[in-house]
Chain A
Amino acid sequence: MIYTDEERLAELLRALPPAPTGWVRAAQELPRVRRELDGIVERAEADAHFRAELLADLERALAAAGVEPRRPIVEELRRRLED
């Protein structure tokens, strides 16, 4: 492909603006979040009282574990607890 047209190059550069920093950071933290979720679910399976508290306020439980309670994470935790 021949890029003789600098206007076209400029247009292509503009076509990929950076994603919001918070979105990128949240996606990069997936492995850690997964580990945290595994730990929370494991504890909930062993402790009915903890499980009940957890289901009552998932966002708070995630925040306490250092996980930003973004909607997909909260939904996944709820799904795993209800399985």
Chain B
Amino acid sequence: MHPLTDAQLVAACREGREEAWNELVERFSRYVYAITQAFRLAPPDADDVFQDVFTRVYERLDTLRSDDALRPWLAQLTRNLCLDRIRRDGREEPTEDLDPGTIDDAVDKLDEAFAVREALGGLSPDCAEILDRFFTRDESYRTIGESLELPSGTIASRISRCLARLRDALEGRIPAPAPSGERVTR
């Protein structure tokens, strides 16, 4: 069963389907969160921006010109709200490491990372879980081994094998979900 495309997800949210809204938040929560982190907002500010972003999306889904443009819209909305927050708090305008070019680069990298996460979703659940635990949750071999009931000595080789599969998926050697907006139907 294929996941809904972004456009299908938006359409389902407009119909008031709460499970679609849950999926939309789940799909983009890491992305929005990562942008707030690129702006180095303090956790309470990042939380406020995160909630504001999804509130605005919820309120303004009808104004989205192209349903496939959800992710760029989220990126722009999050950036604008982060900048508003920085200005409202009287912080100096970002100049060096937070200048617009740097933020653009950071968002470009997050777009690439998003594609990798989509490919991760096309791997076996075991592979997806082990890579997620190790790389994004920073769990140790021991913790992963205990959780998955595997000897910790085998975790490194599993990670290496799963990374190779992920690489293959991204290069199209094995079936993997297409980028957002190009997938088929649920």
Contacts and interface: CB of A to CB of B under 8 A. Distances in A.
A10 B135 contact: yes
Contacts of B16: 31
Nearest to A15: B113
Contact of A27 (B51, B131, B163): B51
A9 B131 CA distance: 11
A64 interface: no
Interface string A1-21: 111101001101111111110
A76 to B, nearest CB: 8
A12 B50 contact: no
Please classify how large the interface on chain A is, using the bins under 10, 10 to 19, 20 to 34, 35 or more: 20 to 34
Contact of B31 (A4, A6, A16): A16
Tell me the interface secondary structure of chain A in the complex.
Answer: helix
Interface string B29-56: 1111110000000000001101110110
B137 interface: yes
B113 A16 contact: yes
Interface of B: 16, 18, 21-22, 25-26, 29-34, 47-48, 50-52, 54-55, 58, 109-110, 112-117, 120, 131-132, 135-137, 160, 163-164, 166-167, 170-171
Given A1-B112, A17-B33, 14 more contacts: A3-B166, A6-B167, A9-B166, A13-B135, A14-B136, A16-B34, A16-B113, A16-B117, A18-B137, A19-B29, A24-B26, A27-B25, A70-B47, A70-B51
